[in-house]
Amino acid sequence: MKKRITLLLLLFLFNGIQFINAQDYTATKSFGKKELAVREVRRAAITANIGWKSLTGIGVSYQQYVGKQMGVDLGLGLSLTGVKFGGRFRYLFMEKNFSPFVSAGFMYGMGLGDVEMEYITDGNSFSYRIGSSPFGQITGGIEYLSNGGFLIMANIGYAILLNDGNYEIIHGTPTAEELNVMNAMFGSGMVFEFSIGYAFGGKK
């Protein structure tokens, strides 16, 4: 499984680099004789996000570029593990509008408290509670930031649950197959995320 994830991530980044190398790049602004990269001018962004085991689940994030090839993302949203918030650091490989990146971060699902959820199949049923869910996340992806501020980003990777378990069976007995489904839904697994938004700036 880990070999497949690594191969998928490498193919994603390789295809992105091949595409990026074909792009022409013009700096967003010229100040005197100094040309600035787009992320030196548009330093802050707001995005809407949707994803699986992503930074926010369905939510919004604030992105701050701390350099022309570095960014910090802070997000808040809703997920299967309840209200979810997190942060991560991203390194972009290029100064161009299109750039692949790698990131590492932390996410925390607050759980659903005393709310009991029910899992029902044709032959079995059980109820469970979702507790606190801390995750570490490693991803790679591609970002496009236009000179006008339009921002789009996609990434894939892996999220690792950092505690022993984030759900509790309250009533009933799940089968081994049903436990596998539960672990896939709430535990460690692949990350898929898509974001779209706007970057602010334009003045130095």
The tally of domains found in the chain comes to: 1
Q: Facing residues of 103 across strands?
A: 90, 139
Structure tokens at 105: 């971060």
Give pLDDT, residue 19: 46
Domain that holds residue 82: 2-27+35-200
Q: What pLDDT is recorded for position 36?
A: 85
pTM beyond 0.85, yes or no: no
78, β-bridge pairs: 58, 83
DSSP assignment of 139-201 equals EEEEEEE-TTSEEEEEEEEEEEE-SS-SEEEEES---HHHHHHHHHHHSSEEEEEEEEEEEE-
Residue 39, helix vs strand vs coil: helix
Helix (H, G, I), strand (E, B), or coil: what is residue 17? helix
Q: What is the CATH number of the domain that holds 150?
A: 2.40.160.20
Amino acid at 41: V
Residue whose C-alpha is closest to residue 193's, from 160, 161, 152: 152
Q: Using alpha carbons only, what angle is made at residue 178 by residues 176 and 181, rounded to the nearest 5 degrees?
A: 115
Given this model, what pLDDT does residue 121 score?
83
Contact 100, 127 (CB under 8 A): no
Residue 1: what pLDDT? 55
Q: What are phi and psi of 93, to 5 degrees?
A: -80, -20
Place of tokens 């436990």: 179
Q: pLDDT tens across 5-36, in order?
A: 555 555 544 554 444 444 444 444 544 546 78
The pLDDT of residue 66 is: 94
Counting as low any pLDDT under 70, the low residues of the chain are 1-34, 202-204
The closest of 42, 102, 98 to 67, measured between CA atoms, is: 42
Structural tokens at position 119: 């899992």
Query: Do residues 136 and 168 make contact, with C-beta atoms less than 8 angstroms apart?
Result: no
Phi, psi of 11 (to 5 degrees): -65, -40
